[in-house]
Amino acid sequence: MFDGKFRASADAFIAPVGRGLGKIGFSADVLTLSGLLFSFATMVAIGAGTHWLAIVLLTLTGFQDLLDGAVAKASQRSSQRGSFFDSVVDRVSDAALMGGVAYVLVAEHHGETVLLPFAILTASFMVSYQRSKAESLGLSAKGGLMERAERMVLLGVALISNSIFLPVLWIMLVLTWLTAFGRFRRVWKVAVKPVPSTTPSLRTRTQTRWQRRALARSSRL
């Protein structure tokens, strides 16, 4: 939802900050890595029960996630390697945050609630994987109610009070799975064209074999 409706406005706001950080020497990879470190700090804060500190650290984590792309664009250093690094770090960051949630549930709750962050993480990975796979096939799979930005905001809401912690996590789970199913449905609808076969036909293989033999004969002449 954020990418579809608010990304352009956010980029317009963040772009000057990105240019400023690029001028003083910050790189996108440094911001990506520091965002990962802040996500681990958030995990520790959640596990320690200092939820207001966790909210602050989570906000800083999300802010750096926005800034790394802006810095890359401003410095004209956007690259496949940077995009790959950012995507991998986002998945590790998601796992760290849900690890902190799982620790709290083990310490303060009983029963199977510890499986809740596991289910959220599985749904989150499905959302990101479907987009990645669709784009590798030349299709678009952006959008949905619960993308990464929305999940971080909702986690911050859950940390406001212990009384709403579990209910908000359940809401996050349902909305994330709805996003995953929605993306699957959209891609399934548009992916109707058969993928061209990359296996050469028998006729092509025969022609290629005869061409190699003809080339070999001509080289001996």
Of residues 134, 125, 44, the one with CA closest to residue 87 = 125
pLDDT at 213: 55
Higher pLDDT, 210 or 68: 68
pLDDT at 172: 96
CB atoms within 10 A of CB 122: 16
Q: Which amino acid is at 2?
A: F
Residue 21 belongs to domain spanning: 2-220
**Local structure of 220: helix, strand or coil:** helix
pLDDT at 143: 78
Number of domains in the chain: 1
Mean pLDDT of the chain: 81
Q: Tell me the mean pLDDT in the region 29-34.
A: 86
96 secondary structure, DSSP code: H
CA distances (Å), 34 to each of 1, 3, 194, in order?
Answer: 25, 23, 43
CA distances (Å), 59 to each of 12, 143, 162, in order?
Answer: 19, 22, 19
pLDDT digits (tens, 9 = 90+) for 179-192: 999 999 999 988 87
pLDDT at 201: 52
pLDDT digits (tens, 9 = 90+) for 190-204: 887 665 555 555 555
Number of H helices and E strands in the chain, helices first, is 8, 0
Q: Cite the active site residues.
A: 90
- For residue 201, give the CATH number of its domain: 1.20.120.1760
pLDDT digits (tens, 9 = 90+) for 63-98: 888 887 777 776 666 678 888 888 899 999 999 999
User: Is the pLDDT score of 218 beyond 50?
Assistant: no
Please state, for a pLDDT cut of 70, what percent of the chain lies above it. Answer: 74
What is this structure's pTM? Answer: 0.77
pLDDT at 75: 67
pLDDT digits (tens, 9 = 90+) for 114-137: 899 999 999 999 999 999 999 888
